[in-house]
Structure 1
């Protein structure tokens, strides 16, 4: 599914090669049958706006947007598991799914990096794509609403993925929750997030219970709320996945 390759590239770090491929990406978008006329027009407009920018300005904006704070992290498990032990196992299981389906990861990025995840899905069947995008629609919607709240046009990319998934999402509730969040990309918030904490020897040992010692970003989903975490690849049997 070429449209996923396009969105994957656009969600990744801007490069000269990306800008040079603008016309090719626009042609793919305009021929895409997975998106509505309105969505195709919005995506084409995004490509034109992005590629018209100075490359270094675009790269700086990207860094400030996605690499400063955790609210807009493009790592899927950041929003589900935070820094809990479950995150590491989920990474291993997702990588095994990639390998089982013949997808070789030639990247320094973690397997749950959304552009990499989309690259994998672009090689799968439409039914598979819809199921796996549907599994992360709650995360995509949350990210989109946070981008909209910051008046950032990158939200178009997430909205395109939601449309491809075919899933109906209650955006009103998610938007309301996002409007109540505190920004985590300010200097003060970053300093507070990473400040050294007092070491206490009377604290319970990490690992005594699932929640003990686990860092969970305040902008992450609650991993204990099952209906917020429909991601199921880490429970899938590899043989079943390969047969899809």
Structure 2
């Protein structure tokens, strides 16, 4: 298992199959591309994950990545937000997958980071590094936010930053993360999901009838096949 494949598996929703392949995951942490210190930290991450009951691991994943947008694993959500450019970017990414002989056999959005990493794990090293370079600022911000929230996943994002070119200034991003208002609190989630009452009359603003903006659902079963 390649390093990018491993990081993608560890960032993905922890399905029951993960525990069936624990030894393979542990073996993959010995990747020579990593420093000895990072290999030890990555192995500890995997050991801690495997020590959890699957239901607890799944609950923790949902609390980490499915509450609010700050820790979203959808890359284009961080780049384009809710703009129309996001849709075109996803179309272009699907085209890139297909041009290289891959077809999405799932309901996942194409910019889902674990899915992208699985794809890059099977591409030439230079191409994968170029991709990681371009999303390095996103991986860096996710690393900073994970560190601010004392999440062990910070290590995984830092490894992705280093795999890109390591030029992202994590200190600057950590400072920014420390100043952000968290969007995964109960109050923040209530505000996100709140639907405004529809007002009728000539003074009613047109956006009152717009659907509320919500984080998209993220199915957990997916597979990329050549």
Which category of TM-score, normalised to the shorter sequence, fits these structures?
Answer: 0.7 to 0.9
SS in 2 for 1:80: helix
2:17 aligned residue = 17
Cα distance in 2 for partners of 1:88, 1:61 equals 29
Change beyond 3 A, Cα 1:216–1:61: closer
Per-residue CA deviations over 1:200-244 (Å, capped at 9, x if unaligned) read 767578xxxxxxx9x799xxxxxxxxxxxxxxxxxxxxxxxxxxx
2:189 aligned residue = 190
When the two structures are aligned, how many residues end up with a matched partner?
Answer: 209
Q: Please provide the CA RMSD for this pair.
A: 2.2
Contact 1:137-1:162 at 8 Å conserved across structures: yes
Pairing of 1:196-211 with structure 2 (within 5 A): 196-197=195-196
1:156 aligns with 2:161: no
1:88 aligned residue = 87
Cα distance in 2 for partners of 1:20, 1:43 equals 18
Cα distance in 2 for partners of 1:128, 1:63 equals 31
2:26 aligned residue = 26
1:167 aligned residue = 166
Give the TM-score of the pair, scaled to structure 1. 0.80
SS in 1 for 2:91: helix
Per-residue CA deviations over 1:140-179 (Å, capped at 9, x if unaligned) read 0101111111111011111111122223111111111111
| Cα offset, 1:196, TM superposition | 2.0
Cα distance in 2 for partners of 1:22, 1:156 equals 19
1:52 aligns with 2:18: no
Cα distance in 1 for partners of 2:14, 2:98 equals 27
Give the TM-score of the pair, scaled to structure 2. 0.86
Higher RCO (CA < 8 A, seq sep 6+): 1
| Structure 1 unaligned blocks of 5 or more | 206-212, 218-244
1:6 aligned residue = 6
| Structure 2 unaligned blocks of 5 or more | 216-226
Cα distance in 2 for partners of 1:202, 1:13 equals 42
Cα distance in 1 for partners of 2:145, 2:21 equals 28
